[in-house]
Amino acid sequence: MAIRIAVGALGTGLTREETTWLQRALAGTGRATLIVPSFAVRDACRRELARAGMGVGVDVLTLGAWVASLWELLGDGRRLVGGLERKLLMAQVLAGAPEAGEGDAPRALTPGIVALHARAAAESLPYIERAGEAAAAREGDAVAPVLSAAERALVQALARYGEELDARGLTEPSVAARLIADQVRALAPACARAVAVHGVPELPEYALELLEACAGAGEVLLCVDAGMAGMAAQLGRRLGAAVERCAPRDPDAAGTAADVPAARFAEVAGPSARDAAHTVLVLDAARAGDVVAASPDPLALARHLAPRLAARGVASRVEARLRFSETRAGELFFMLIDVLDRMGNEEPVAWWPAPELVDWIRSPFAGVWSGAARIACASDKRWRGSRLVDADGVLRELRSLQSNETRLESDRAQESGAARRPVAVFDVLEALGAGDYRAALQAMLGVAQAASPGMFGQGGMVAKQVEVAALGAALACLADARRLGTPPAAALPVLSDLPVKVSAAVEPAARGDGLGAVAFAALDAAAEGAPASAAAVLLLDLDADTCPCARQDTPATVLARKLGCAGASATPAERQRVTVRRALAGGRAGTLAYVARTREGEEVFPAFALDELKNALGAGAAVVAGLPTEYALAQNLDPSGGEGLALETVSCTPAHALPRHLAPYLYLPDMVWRGAVVPRRFSASSIEAYLSCPYKWLVTNRARSKRLDAAFGPIERGNFVHDIMQRFHERLIEAGLMRVTPENVERALELMRASFEELKADHARGKFTHGKYARQGAARVRSPYVPLGELERSRLASVLPMLEGVVRAEADMLPIFTPELFEYSFDAADLRYAGRPLGGRIDRIDVAPDAGSGERFVVIDYKTGGSDADMASPDPTAREDAEAEVSTWIPGRDRDKAPVVQTLIYAQAYRRIAHASPQGAAYLITRGPKVAAMVDEALTSMEPPAFPSGRVYAFPDLPAPGKKSKKPEGTLGFTEMLDAVEAGIAEELDRLEAGEIAPAPAKDSCKYCPIKMCEKRR
């Protein structure tokens, strides 16, 4: 067999060995074939052959084109299946696959699954047929013991795919190649007697068999790049041929480390210096002429560098390939399919508040021509602000938007005489919902064509062209799917993977003197350039993550090995080595760079090829110095590199200090309420926030930002519980029970359950239809507790057992008191507390008859969470180290706890409003339930006690009757304590008004503080 394997330093052009061999072959047979890895190499080889006087007689073809040309001559009339057809047919086969067996998870039809099967079909189909594996697998016998479940499924899919090809008069190039090989062995046609292969990094088994057949009829020369020695050894073993070295075509040909002209190495400090450092490298190179800047992701590189280069007078262009799903149109197309699917089949929690539809409205494919951004923002705000939005309602809104826009567009067209632009904001959704993807893409294309370039963002006309081309390619793909009978849903994974060519150019306002232009390219594309055709080649972002060397096994590769049809291929490391060195050879100078740290500061390793090259050059490896570091933040962020920036040092007030002249604005005494100027009132919770930490108060009360999304959190749960408790006590009164007692607990529980159901329904509809709020006409439920999914529904359901526990606990609580006021608002009372206007709403006030000092009362505040230990403080005078007199007191301060004073403020407020006798201030924590209370000593010494359980502190704190205590007796009565707290708060509010806003947290102040980045957080 006349097969020679030669290893040498290959470039894009021919080696001397190849040229001589082809000349000899032409002289002998009159024609020869040269197989090359890509179209770019094909063109370069054709030029070289023409220069060498072999312009006629040598067919320069890629492997696929070679098989196709031979099939034209020696085939049986079937047509070779194309790449897109293969994927569409395979998707069709996989979509129609029988249900997975018991225990097998059903497999989603993803782009990756389709690609894996398509690749296996392209390379392994004839070997499966040959071995009879497909038939055996269908019957589940002979193959079963040697193949895994995944491989058996693959074999079955390939067998069905083979049948589909037969039914359509199609065949795989791999099947065709084996048939051609038979013909070549039998006929030895002139076109197959001299074949040379130049630097192809992957030769499937069918190609090797065909080459063997050609060698039997004539001669074959396989030239392998020296960087792919592993592949050469594989070929030697497979073909039984020796591996020889061949000389490069010219003494200056590139391909080895020693041939790399002036390669330099750059280590960029980190991501924030990346763009600035790359700009310096490119600019430096562009002074010598045109530059190629290659990277694993050339589009991202161009997006970051092109504006910076344009600012310095350098023109740039980029050519790359994207998948359809990576274009803006593709991204939206698949996003809409996904969100519509969730809206139709899943709970609201899976799609609400539909940000995808907001993006869609403002996109240049929807056709909302009048104020798309404004309409999108308004829709976003509306949908996020309510959990009562349903899928049908959202779609109704979009349908009405379509009608409005269509009418406006018709009016505009009539007035201006211009053509009416299409509107597709709802039409596309309707088509997608009906599975008519072609109609949806057609509508998007119509709008995109009518849209102005400005609607596509900074990319302008170039971006518009890319999107229009992508939509056109997608429509062509769906047309092919229809022709082949592939269902639209099965074609989606193929559509997602569809390659779309992208090109763009950025011109500076004025080109810089003596500066070349920059072409951004993928590494593979850069490796196909003619040697030394650019002034410099820069290979950027060459790190181990973006250029991995691991070879990944899939069921397809394992199956190919088991079938003995794995062919020969270079490893990822070999390919990377050759790609990098060939790319470098494209420039008269070269630089390799990588970013050495991640955003998180972790070390990044350079790509294998960079490291290897640097080691090969040893001490001669030049390292670029003086690149911008991450410390030059202003220059790095500025697209102009900080040119013209003036650095000024200004003095400002220290952090958290308010300049004295601004203090009066910190808390303005008045506010406008419904058109009238009214005094600004403090609330108990805002006072508590200030006592907890002044800076927390500033941010949460004065710089208050509105939440975007209606939530299902503690605030909503708290509101729900308050509403139920209010309604429950109202029902108790309506039923003549007045309060819960041990005798009426069962009846009270029934009333609680009824109240729960009423309020659950009211919150679900966002409107009160029961109780005091409904009667007062305040029908809207603020922050309703609306579950959107199973988990949230179970959280809502857990409220009832919790409140049933509260009902049982209330039977023994405050026995001589009767709940009288619920959600009592004292805003209208014109009350002053701590010298300032105070407003608020008290959850509940329980009263008892006068015992000599006015009607007795206890204020109760409901809490749905929290610790009883934090909510009440003991008498500060009942301690060894206590001061004789306490005129001001902030509870909790002595224990480094955030003060909890809400009920104490309310007790003092109601005392002042009703001239009544305060007996206690209690928190009823519904989870548990638990009680934390500060009460008059009379309530703890009475029989039965007011609070039989809970954390209850008496004022003054005296020993129980008949008992002795080691600690001193307290002296602070309950009403004196309320006065002392008010006096303490007055001092704190004085500080607030003086502008004291620096963080001063207690040890538990920061626990729920929303200021996550606060440097004083404890």
Q: Minimal distance in Å, beta carbon 979 to ligand SF4?
A: 28
Cα 366 to Cα 43: distance, rounded to the nearest angstrom: 43
Residue (24 or 1017) nearer to ligand SF4, CB: 1017
Tell me the residue ranges of DSSP E strands in 873-956: 917-925, 930-936, 951-955
Look at the block and give the residue holding tokens 């015992």: 851
Helices (H) and strands (E) in the chain, counts: 36, 29
Q: Minimal distance in Å, beta carbon 893 to ligand SF4?
A: 15
Query: Distance between alpha carbon 154 and the CA centroid of its chain, in Å?
Result: 32
Residue (971 or 1005) nearer to ligand SF4, CB: 1005
Q: Minimal distance in Å, beta carbon 687 to ligand SF4?
A: 15
Residue (623 or 1013) nearer to ligand SF4, CB: 1013
Please name which of 261, 198, 195, 200 lies closest in space to residue 15, comparing C-alpha atoms.
Answer: 198
Instruction: Tell me the residue type at 247.
Output: A
Cα 121 to Cα 474: distance, rounded to the nearest angstrom: 23
Report CA Rg, the chain. 40
Q: Minimal distance in Å, beta carbon 389 to ligand SF4?
A: 33
Q: Minimal distance in Å, beta carbon 875 to ligand SF4?
A: 28
Q: Minimal distance in Å, beta carbon 1009 to ligand SF4?
A: 3
Distances (CA, A) of 10 to 41, 452, 968, 974, 977: 11, 48, 97, 95, 93
Distances (CA, A) of 565 to 176, 233, 474: 15, 17, 34
Cβ density class 450-483: b for 16+ within 10 Å, e for less: bbeeebbeebeebbbbbbbbbbebbbebbebbee
Please name which of 214, 220, 217 lies closest in space to residue 200, comparing C-alpha atoms.
Answer: 220
CB 764 within 8 A of CB 784: yes
Q: Minimal distance in Å, beta carbon 990 to ligand SF4?
A: 20
Q: Minimal distance in Å, beta carbon 1010 to ligand SF4?
A: 8
Q: Minimal distance in Å, beta carbon 1002 to ligand SF4?
A: 8
Q: Minimal distance in Å, beta carbon 861 to ligand SF4?
A: 22
Q: Minimal distance in Å, beta carbon 991 to ligand SF4?
A: 15
Please name which of 33, 53, 35, 43 lies closest in space to residue 13, comparing C-alpha atoms.
Answer: 43
Long-range contacts of 239-243 (CB under 8 A, 24+ apart): 239/1, 239/3, 239/5, 239/208, 239/211, 239/212, 240/1, 241/1, 241/3, 241/4, 241/5, 242/5, 243/5, 243/6, 243/7
Q: Minimal distance in Å, beta carbon 1005 to ligand SF4?
A: 4
CB 35 within 8 A of CB 63: yes
Cβ density class 580-605: b for 16+ within 10 Å, e for less: bbbbbbbbbbbbbbbbbbeeeeeebe
Q: Minimal distance in Å, beta carbon 898 to ligand SF4?
A: 8
Find the angle CA(134)-CA(137)-CA(142) to the nearest 5 degrees: 110
Which residues contribute to the site for ligand SF4 (CB under 6 A)? 693, 695-696, 999, 1001, 1005-1006, 1009, 1011, 1014, 1016-1017
Residue (237 or 1003) nearer to ligand SF4, CB: 1003
DSSP reduced 3-state for 62? strand
Q: Minimal distance in Å, beta carbon 925 to ligand SF4?
A: 22
Residue (631 or 1008) nearer to ligand SF4, CB: 1008
Which H helix or E strand runs over 499?
strand 499-506
DSSP string covering 508-528, please? Answer: -SSPPTT---EEEEEHHHHTT
Residue (243 or 1014) nearer to ligand SF4, CB: 1014
CB 695 within 8 A of CB 997: yes
Residue (465 or 701) nearer to ligand SF4, CB: 701
Residue (249 or 696) nearer to ligand SF4, CB: 696
Please name which of 60, 70, 119, 57 lies closest in space to residue 90, comparing C-alpha atoms.
Answer: 119
Cα 188 to Cα 590: distance, rounded to the nearest angstrom: 47
Sheet order of strands, 3-8 included? 58-62, 32-36, 194-198, 219-225, 3-8, 243-245
Residue (391 or 1014) nearer to ligand SF4, CB: 1014
Q: Minimal distance in Å, beta carbon 652 to ligand SF4?
A: 20
The DSSP 8-state label assigned to residue 953 in this structure reads E
